[in-house]
Structure 1
Amino acid sequence: MLSKKRWTIFSLLVLCGGTIYKLPSLKDAFYVPMQEYFHLTNGEIGNAMSVNSIVTTIGFFLSIYFSDKLPRRFTMSLSLIATGLLGIYLSTMPGYWGILFVWALFGVTCDMLNWPVLLKSVSLLGDNTQQGRLFGFFETGRGIVDTVIAFSALAVFTWFGSDYFGFKAAILFYSFIAILVGVVIFFVLKESPEEQAAKQEKAEKKEANPGLGGVLKNKTVWLIAFSVFCVYAVYCGLTFFIPFLRNVYALPIALVGAYGIINQYCLKMVGGPIGGLIADKVLKSPSQYLFYTFIISALALVALILLPHEQMPVYLGMACTLMFGAVIFTQRAVFFAPIGEAGISEKNTGAAMALGSFIGYAPAMFCYSLYGYILDTNPGLLGYKIVFGLMAVFACAGIVISGLLIKNIRAERKAEPLTV
């Protein structure tokens, strides 16, 4: 699907995407140590994630203006190195307000500076018939990198005693990896021929239309953004499968970290290629794939509410939650692919990705805090059932929005090729 040179670029993009979120996603492998050594409740961990998301959402809006203008090598390397430096500060074990401050800055370094540029770079590696596979294999690659680094950090945590010092060592490990990858990308990742040609064109003739207005007026882009919104609102709930299994199923502490890594990272390796290939080869439409998987996820959440969890063995509970998580990760693998499917022009892809991220990742501003608050105020299985019910509501909204998206793309194709 890609030339040797593009595979090299793709590998660097995967390396970037698979390392930069390890520190902001510290909860995935170290949820229990975060509660113990940072002295945080479920709601306070959710608050940190929500503060991060508020800054991220504002950052995505700002990145609409520069994601198509700054050299990606600069923004990617700067974001990785800055994230690593924040991790070094985090290893000093700051108080609650210090943690909120660090997670707020993660929203700048990881999301505003990096994510829309990274998504655009992936999208431009193929044409509109390859977007599902590109993003699917990108998620798979990220899953591999995520898993290797996370299990390595877990090994460091164990090596240093699985205690306070082990937790600090794991944070420092994540930090140094991010800095190292940032340095590698700065010296290795070069501008693509498309980027060089775009710069030359701008030097010869200034563009009268920056493209932002066209993107904001495009109904398809907004529908894509809100379909991402629904996927991400459901995805936020996956974090709380960890305390769910710990509190309801009495998951052994030795399995908590491993389950978190499998739940958040290993599933990318399964979900990425499956979602991408089905979207491109079977349905030939990422938007249709989102529609059908929203239906599946809504039904699965209803089943999770009705299952007799208190009488079920722990491994069956793990299997149920992991199967549901796999469906969500197939959606995450392709939820930006409709931008390529819709035929958004290359010069405006970055702005479209930024707008999609601005709206799409907004649930993280409130879902983590909301879900955590519900669990803290409704102890036991009842709290988790309420959370699953809210997730099902978002999935049902996704069914409606993705259905409208399919209809809109078909109408645009019948009229004329979509340009922004």
Structure 2
Amino acid sequence: MSTLQRWVSFLVLSMSGGIIFQVAYIRFVFLGPTTEALRLSAQDYGNIISVFGAVAVFMYFLGGWFADRFEPRTLITVALAGTGAADLYLAQAPGYWGALAAHVVMAVMGMGLYWPALVKAIGMLGSSSEQGRLFGFLEGTRGVTSTVVGFAGTAIVAMAVAQSAGVIWLIRLYGVLCFVFAALTWLFVKSDAGRLAELGSSSVTLRQLWRAVRNKYTWLIGITAMLMYCFYTTLGYFSPLLENRFGMAAGLIGVIGVIRTYVFQFVAGPAGGVVVDKVTKSSPRLLRWMFVGSAAVALVFLVLPHQPAYKWVALGLMFLLCLFVFTSRGVYFATVGEVEIPKNERGGVIGLASGIAFLPDAFLPSLCAWWIGDPTATPAVPEQGGGYTTLFVFLLAMALLGVLVTTLTTRARARDLASRPAPTPAPPTVPATA
């Protein structure tokens, strides 16, 4: 494969990563308008998103099986085309069961076929010494692509007569783009059989999972990521809070959503890695400070009056929370290497820890929908759910647990290092006699 072919393949693959998940996670930018556009209640949409999350977690474990048996280009093409079809079907507002089916298809295509194949396809584009740069640029390109299409989507929704109508057109656009990138992938992405063979298996075996279950760091890493992921999952629910409680202009909500979801992704993530390398020298230590900051933000939101006079304070707090969340996302799994988990066990540890980490997607959207109710209703907060007070009490509890778990991780690592036998000193050298 020539250098030009590698770069073209890399750009097509990386940009597709900024497209394929747009509709599945559109709630992070347009929660209320999407619910209205699909003609669903807030609770029904929350339930659908939770089912999507549950299927995604399951497919994460199964995806390696597909990646080991089929060519990455084929899997990525099928996944993009399948997601495009699901997007266009969803744009018809097919009702609860139709929307549920579309989201299940998106989870299977995205997590089962696309993601493990993308990891292999990117890996085959460079030597072992180039993997860090390749995946770093992958995240950067995905982030830039998501930001560009996100701002374009915001403009489409803003120009529409009704936001819900704009969201329908936006879902159609994302569906068409998926088909475009499916064609580009099939035409321009080339496979390197030799490099694919060197990458080895993507599947996580039962033996690896069993070893991971018995490793204390699997649970410490997975639970740490899960607790911070609770904050990430709930970020989309800050949009109705800003608009309906603090009086933020509806036209700004989409722009704020793009900044919150995508800009912080490619700015704060790399920054977290730099801070670990240069300042804390430890991922759990950085994560502990991120949980402390997140707890402070949740606490302030609990006592901040829901009045328009405080809308810019609320916006600043939300952006500060985004900084903490996305800085953490950049170093979740750096702990795997830091605690020196053997390479032959890392696949199982990362696989099981990832399954634990993403569990909030399987229940939290449904729970949040029950807590805050229909954000357009007056009053918007149902008594039985507890409203945003319950949400921020929950987040405060997750942050405090995060401080505890990261402290336990740091202490466990210190005990492991202390239990190592001291290195045997080298015998003194005897000076040679004349």
For residues 221-240 of structure 1, what are the structure 2 equivalents within 5 Å? 221-240=218-237
Q: Distance in 2 between matches of 1:18 and 1:314?
A: 30
Which residue identity is paired with 1:18? Answer: G
In structure 2, C-alpha distance between the alignment counterparts of 1:113 and 1:247, rounded to whole Å = 39
2:270 is matched by which residue type in structure 1? P
Q: Distance in 2 between matches of 1:119 and 1:285?
A: 26
Structure 1 segment 226-305 matched on structure 2, within 5 A? 226-305=223-302
* Aligned-residue offset at 1:390: 0.3
Q: Distance in 2 between matches of 1:185 and 1:340?
A: 33
1:394 aligns with 2:394: no
Distance 1:264 1:198 in 2: 32
CA distance in 2, matches of 1:227, 1:160: 41
Q: Deviations over 1:282-334 (max 9, x none)?
A: 22332322122112111221112122332634233222212212211111222
Does the residue aligned with 1:166 lie in a helix, a strand or coil? Answer: helix
Checking the alignment, whether the CA contact within 8 Å between 1:68 and 1:347 is kept in structure 2 is no
Q: CA deviation at 1:22?
A: 0.1
**Which runs of 5 or more structure 1 residues have no equivalent in the other structure?**
203-207
- The residue aligned with 1:196 is 197
Gaps of 5+ in 2: 421-434
Q: How has the CA–CA distance of structure 1 residues 222 and 92 changed in structure 2, closer, same or farther, with 3 Å as cutoff? A: same
- 1:154-173 residue pairs with structure 2 within 5 A? 154-158=154-158, 161-162=161-162, 165-173=165-173
Q: What displacement does 1:94 show?
A: 0.8
What is the aligned partner in structure 1 of residue 370 from structure 2? 373
Secondary structure of the 2:40 match is coil
Matched AA of 2:171: I
Q: CA deviation at 1:338?
A: 2.3
Query: Alpha-carbon deviations, 1:108-151, whole Å to 9, x = none?
Result: 111233345556877998999x97x9877654443221111112
Report 1:113-124 matches (<5 A). 113-116=113-116, 118=118
1:403 equivalenced with 2:407 (yes/no): yes
Provide the rounded CA distance (Å) in 1 between the counterparts of 2:70 and 2:345: 14
Q: Secondary structure at the match of 2:22?
A: coil
Does the CA contact (< 8 Å) of 1:87 and 1:172 recur in 2? Answer: yes
What is the number of equivalent residue pairs in this alignment?
A: 405
Rate the CA distance shift 1:407–1:296 in 2: closer, same or farther, 3 A: same
Q: Aligned residue for 1:219?
A: 216
Instruction: Give the TM-score taking structure 2 as reference length.
Output: 0.80
CA distances 1:317-364 after superposition (whole Å, capped 9, x unpaired): 222212212211111222233234344555665544432321111111
SS at match of 1:114: helix
Find the counterpart in structure 1 of residue 315 from structure 2. 318
Name the SS of the counterpart of 2:307 in structure 1. helix
Matched residue type, 1:341 = E
Where in structure 2 are the equivalents of 1:134-149 lying within 5 Å?
139-149=139-149
The aligned residue for residue 205 of structure 1 is none
Q: What secondary structure is seen at the aligned counterpart in 2 of 1:335?
A: coil
Cα displacement string for residues 179-201 of structure 1 (whole angstroms, at most 9, x for unaligned residues): 333343444253486532255xx
- The worse-fitting range, judged by mean Cα deviation, of 114-123 and 45-54 is 114-123
Q: Which structure's relative contact order is higher, taking Cα pairs within 8 Å and 6+ residues apart?
A: 1
- Structure 1 pair 191–134 and aligned structure 2 pair: CA distance change class (3 A): closer
- For 2:241 and 2:287, the matched residues in 1 are separated by 26
> TM-score, normalized by length of structure 1?
0.83
Contact 2:146-2:262 within 8 A present in 1 as well: yes
Identity %: 28
Match for residue 27 of structure 1? 27
Give the match for residue 384 of structure 1: 388
Tell which deviates more after alignment, 4-13 or 150-159.
4-13
Say if 2:179 is the partner of 1:179: yes
CA RMSD of aligned residues (A): 3.6
Counterpart of 1:297, as a letter, is S
